[in-house]
Amino acid sequence: MITICIISLLVSSVTSQLTHGQTRVLYESFDPPTLNTSLWNYGYPWGTYYTHRANTNQRLVRVTQDGYLNLTAIKERSITLGVMTEFGPLDIDFSSGAVNTNGKFCMKNGFIDITLRVPPTESTWPAVFLVPEDSGRVPMLTIMEAFDSRSRYAYGFKYTNSKGEVEEQNFIADNKQTSDNLHRYGLDWGYDQITWYYDDKWVNTVTKSDELKQVDSLCLVIGLGVGGKAQASTINAAEYPSVMSVDLLEVWRPKYDGFYKFRNVQTGLLLEIDSASHDWSASVLQWHDNGGDWQKWHVQYAGHGQFRLITGHSRFGLDNPGSGVADGTKLIQYPYHSGNNQLWKLQIVDESKPDIVQLINVYTIGNADTPKLVSVPENDTSAGVQLHLWRDMNSDLQKWQMIRL
Ligand SMILES: *[C@@H]1O[C@H](CO)[C@@H](O)[C@H](O)[C@H]1NC(C)=O
Ligand SMILES: *[C@@H]1O[C@H](CO)[C@@H](O)[C@H](O)[C@H]1NC(C)=O
Ligand SMILES: *[C@@H]1O[C@H](CO)[C@@H](O)[C@H](O)[C@H]1NC(C)=O
């Protein structure tokens, strides 16, 4: 009992780090008796088969009494068809299950966590991925797929490059058991980078700002393939039926996304750029609300529960110059380069006032004696004063009301 409590505490504390600044928008635990068809469609968004040897069939998708989504692959021909795939010509001589959320639940940016058990049969190809709502297959974000050994899995990103060619980045996560038990596969999707997790542990981060910019809303697919990418593993029909079980799917989305004004709780003045400057290193001040674009901030989810704040007029980022760690480090705008000194945690101080936040510089978390907040200097709270970083004094001079535009 005690052990169980400790484990669940650990898991939830890691998860709350990963989902800081986000709201859970989906909790699907596959409760019996039937699949929730307000959320799920059967098959793939584009039809019943894909680049493997199984035709999918609603009959092979089951929500079990104990609350799993079971997808079962069997040696049974349900279609007389072969397909030409990137893995060569394939005869579709098996049947299996797949589900997707096309047109029912699609998203951009946030954190997805899925708990599942991969079938032990190495010739199956279980996969969880995200594809566009128009039934296209590019861009595609793959959360996990297993197509050979069950002690590793693959993940990746498929996109169109600047020359208009489809390009893929695929990775293997080695020494990760997939079929022995249920495991969690996480994907953290920020505006310029994606991070994969296995059982809440970091696996890899890929930064692709130009490519991720073209990615619009994506919808989820969970499928159990046979052969195809798994064709290197010979198919032994005696190993079928083979079952993939999904226990839980959770999705979080950023709490903040879009343009905001930041009004200081004590002074009532707005976070702005001095004289609407377009200069690198121009000062960040507080000033009276005048409707200027230099008082509007584009808040975008960067991943890891962190955000960037981009000015409306110059498109520069709110920046802690030189990654300062001292109290009194003065704030500027600077071209955005994905530095931790340009990333911010938006910390709600009082849950009853969720629009009021502290702006914590990410670089100072762990690098300074204590994390530093965007603050109006205590000794000069006048309009026009340059804002600085200061340790948390539980002062209203360090609290900002976010006004959505
Ligand atoms: C089915 O899914 C919809 C959409 O996510 C959700 O609103 C509803 O509560 C779900 N129903 C059940 C019984 O879980
Ligand atoms: C669901 O799949 C698991 C294997 O992952 C299996 O043990 C269980 O019997 C299946 N449940 C049903 C009702 O088929
Ligand atoms: C306020 O304190 C800072 C040091 O934190 C100092 O540089 C500045 O001169 C002081 N301003 C006034 C008006 O006293």
pLDDT tens string, the chain, 405 residues long: the values are 344 444 444 444 445 677 889 999 999 999 999 999 999 999 999 999 999 999 999 999 999 999 999 999 999 999 999 999 988 899 999 999 999 999 999 999 999 999 999 999 999 999 999 999 999 999 999 999 999 999 999 999 999 988 999 999 999 999 999 999 999 999 999 988 999 999 999 999 999 888 998 898 999 999 999 999 988 888 999 999 999 999 999 999 999 999 999 999 999 999 999 999 999 999 999 999 999 999 999 999 999 999 999 999 999 999 999 999 999 999 999 999 989 999 999 999 999 999 999 999 999 999 999 999 999 999 999 999 999 999 999 999 999 999 999
| Residue 111: burial class (beta carbons within 10 Å; 0-12, 13-18, 19+) | buried
Tell me the domain boundaries of the chain: 10-254, 258-404
Q: Which residue has the tokens 């495991």?
A: 183
C-alpha atoms less than 13 angstroms from C-alpha of 387 in its C-beta half-sphere: 32
**DSSP three-state, residue 237:** helix
How many whole angstroms from 39 Cα to the centroid of ligand 3? 57
The residue to mutate among 60, 65, 70, 124, having the most atoms of ligand 2 within 8 angstroms of its beta carbon, is 70
20 secondary structure, DSSP code: T
| Closest protein CA for atom 4 of ligand 1 | 39
How many whole angstroms from 378 Cα to the centroid of ligand 3? 9
List Cβ<8 Å contacts ≥24 apart for 4-13. 11/200
The residue to mutate among 327, 331, 375, 380, having the most atoms of ligand 3 within 8 angstroms of its beta carbon, is 380
Q: Count CB neighbours of 55 within 10 A.
A: 24
Report the largest interatomic distance among the alpha carbons of the chain, rounded to a whole angstrom.
Answer: 80
Q: Could you tell me whether strands 54-56 and 94-96 are parallel, antiparallel, or unpaired per DSSP bridges?
A: parallel
**DSSP three-state, residue 186:** strand
**Do 142 and 220 meet the contact criterion of CB atoms below 8 Å apart?**
no
| Closest protein CA for atom 1 of ligand 2 | 70
The reply to whether ligand 1 has any atom less than 6 angstroms from the CB of 39 is yes
The reply to whether ligand 3 has any atom less than 6 angstroms from the CB of 328 is yes
Structure tokens at 69: 């989504």
| Closest protein CA for atom 14 of ligand 3 | 379
**Do 257 and 21 meet the contact criterion of CB atoms below 8 Å apart?**
no
List pLDDT tens digits, range 195-234.
Answer: 999 999 999 999 988 899 889 899 999 999 999 998 888 8
**Of the candidates 63, 62, 59, 60, the residue with the CA atom closest to the CA atom of residue 29:** 63
In whole angstroms, what separates CA 289 from the centre of its chain?
34
Nearest atom in ligand 3 to 388's CA: 5
CATH, range 258-404? 2.80.10.50
| Closest protein CA for atom 13 of ligand 2 | 64
Q: Which ligand is the nearest neighbour of the Cα of 37?
A: 1
| Residue 237: burial class (beta carbons within 10 Å; 0-12, 13-18, 19+) | exposed
Q: How far, in Å, CA of 190 to CA of 198, rounded?
A: 18
Q: 343 vs 47, 73, 359, 361, CA distance in Å? A: 42, 45, 10, 6
Q: Which ligand is the nearest neighbour of the Cα of 38?
A: 1
The reply to whether ligand 1 has any atom less than 6 angstroms from the CB of 36 is yes
> Domain 10-254, what fold?
Jelly Rolls (2.60.120)
Structure tokens at 344: 């911010």
**DSSP three-state, residue 227:** coil
Q: Count CB neighbours of 347 within 10 A.
A: 16
Q: Could you tell me whether strands 124-132 and 94-96 are parallel, antiparallel, or unpaired per DSSP bridges?
A: unpaired
Q: Which residue has the tokens 């083979």?
A: 242
How many whole angstroms from 27 Cα to the centroid of ligand 1? 9
- Per the prediction, the chain carries an average pLDDT of 94
Q: How far, in Å, CA of 404 to CA of 92, rounded?
A: 52
The reply to whether ligand 3 has any atom less than 6 angstroms from the CB of 377 is yes
pTM assigned to the model: 0.89
Amino acid at residue number 148: D
